[in-house]
Structure 1
Amino acid sequence: MTTYILKNIDREGPGLIAEYLKEKGKSFQVIEPDALVDFTLPSDLEALIILGGPASANDQTEDMVHKIDIAREAMNQNLKVLGICLGMQIMTKAKEGKVVPLGKTERAFRDSEGNWNPLYLLDQGQDNPLFSNISNTIPVFHLHGETIVPNEQIQWLGQGADCQYQALSFGEKAYGFQCHLELTLDMLKAWLTEDPDLVDLDHDQIIKDYLSVEEVYRTQCFCLLDNFFNHI
């Protein structure tokens, strides 16, 4: 069985997710952005992971419609699906939820007041098996200007300071995060130079913030992935 990872832009790769899969000896394949239009759910799929990117799930392009259809098909088949940032918004659209402007752009590790902006688990998040043995407060990186409006098919699991809907469940085996849990230091350095929403920030401070939480960041991500692959 193989985990298929869908990239939406070259710079937003699987990061810690790939490191986890390699460490556990799990088969995985990364589907590059230019190959997504031809992607269909394979018969050997263990899990589908949809990464982030600068596009909007509201885009009416053939590419975006196809990705929403893929997410819908996987969830309808009760397969394991994990969405990160744009990936979560694609899953939301697949479940007939809404994607709307946040009113601001969340960027890096801190909120608009300069305070740390972690993911806070709600009671229902703390009780969910995806978060077994994970702290109720999780350091995460933010990079988005849209948020979602859930419906009865979507359960709210965790929130942040500036954006309520940071962690969601779309069913027993499908989860999404508005924030980034997969970030490595190399990815962060690339984003800081390539992403237009980050170029004007204090890069030294962001890297310092990352290094201060790097160990727990990796540990929490690996624990969450263990739960995702083995306990749901």
Structure 2
Amino acid sequence: MTHLVVLQHLEREGPGRFGEEARRRGWAVTVCRPDLGEPIPRLDPDQALLVLGGPMGVGDIGSPSFPWLEAEVALLRECLARERPVVGLCLGAQLLAFAAGGQVVPLTVGEPPVRAYEVGWGLVDWTRPEGQELVLAGLGAGLPALHWHGDRIRLPAAATLLGSTPLCAEQMFRIGHHAHGLQFHVEVTDAAVEVWLEEDGDYVRQALGPDGVEQVRAGRARWGEEGERLGRRLINNLLDQVGALLGGDPLR
């Protein structure tokens, strides 16, 4: 049986729609919480890795507050070296890029540079034709997605850029055909978004202003249905790739 191992770093940021779609295929899904002291697992040949988001960052590697970050990077380097399937979301994408030799820097705009945050709904434009990328099949020119970050990935030489936004160029990438990073969120359910807004409202208002929470809700009303439809397609494209790499599922 194909097995998806999930590294979760915060109670509110779970596997969401990734877990739903993996279980729908009959896959096992195991969630590991290193933030709660659970050890970083070693992967078996039938296991793939999903690394979720969180408020910590690459700059926190080595901090006594997050002692498990170094172990996660070591696991990601092992996955890259052995060409094990891995998907990183937001923080997970940043750690994946870092493990491959990239950098993560504060997101800025303008000259001189001013600190910026990308929060709320916005369109991710694909940088490669879907005919050249199996994971972009059926997704057209882009995907409306939820963004929730203030950093930018500087991609390693081994990475291929797949998606961008005007504010942050590095939105989706792959390394080989076994590792994919998404700076945006396709996994988050509507119910989870409300929890994020309640628990992380100060961050949203810092990014968008006093009415930031209302802006995010308005964006969900406008883009949420299409975002879920295309987001689930992207999730299933990625899971198709994972299944094919593990030998359990043929590419559809």
Q: Normalised by the size of structure 2, how large is the TM-score? A: 0.82
Distance apart, 1:52 and its partner CA: 0.6
8 Å contact kept, 1:37–1:66 = no
Distance apart, 1:126 and its partner CA: 5.8
**Partner residue in 1 for 2:236:** 226
8 Å contact kept, 1:107–1:144 = yes
Aligned pairs (5 A) from 1:107-146:
107-109=119-121, 117-123=122-128, 127-146=132-151
8 Å contact kept, 1:41–1:74 = no
- Look up the equivalent residue of 1:222 and give its one-letter code: R
The gaps in structure 2 that reach 5 residues or longer are: 109-115, 245-252
**Partner residue in 1 for 2:112:** none
8 Å contact kept, 2:58–2:94 = yes
Aligned pairs (5 A) from 1:67-146:
67-103=72-108, 104-109=116-121, 117-123=122-128, 127-146=132-151
CA distance in 2, matches of 1:205, 1:97: 32
The gaps in structure 1 that reach 5 residues or longer are: 110-116
8 Å contact kept, 2:3–2:46 = yes
Q: Which has the larger radius of gyration?
A: 2
Q: Normalised by the size of structure 1, how large is the TM-score? A: 0.89
**Partner residue in 2 for 1:198:** 204
Call closer, same or farther: CA 1:12–1:126 in 2, change over 3 Å: farther
- Look up the equivalent residue of 1:106 and give its one-letter code: E
- Look up the equivalent residue of 2:171 and give its one-letter code: Q
CA distance in 2, matches of 1:59, 1:206: 28
SS at match of 1:40: coil
SS at match of 2:58: coil
Q: Indicate the larger mover: 72-81 or 212-221.
A: 212-221
CA distance in 2, matches of 1:143, 1:205: 13
Identity between Structure 1 and Structure 2 (%): 25
Distance apart, 1:212 and its partner CA: 2.8
CA distance in 2, matches of 1:96, 1:178: 17
**Partner residue in 2 for 1:54:** 55
CA distance in 2, matches of 1:47, 1:99: 24
SS at match of 1:48: strand
Distance apart, 1:16 and its partner CA: 1.3
Distance apart, 1:219 and its partner CA: 2.0
Superposed CA RMSD: 1.9
**Partner residue in 2 for 1:32:** 33
CA distance in 2, matches of 1:24, 1:218: 18
8 Å contact kept, 2:102–2:153 = yes
Distance apart, 1:125 and its partner CA: 6.1
Q: Indicate the larger mover: 202-211 or 89-98.
A: 202-211
Distance apart, 1:172 and its partner CA: 0.9
SS at match of 1:91: helix
CA distance in 2, matches of 1:228, 1:60: 28
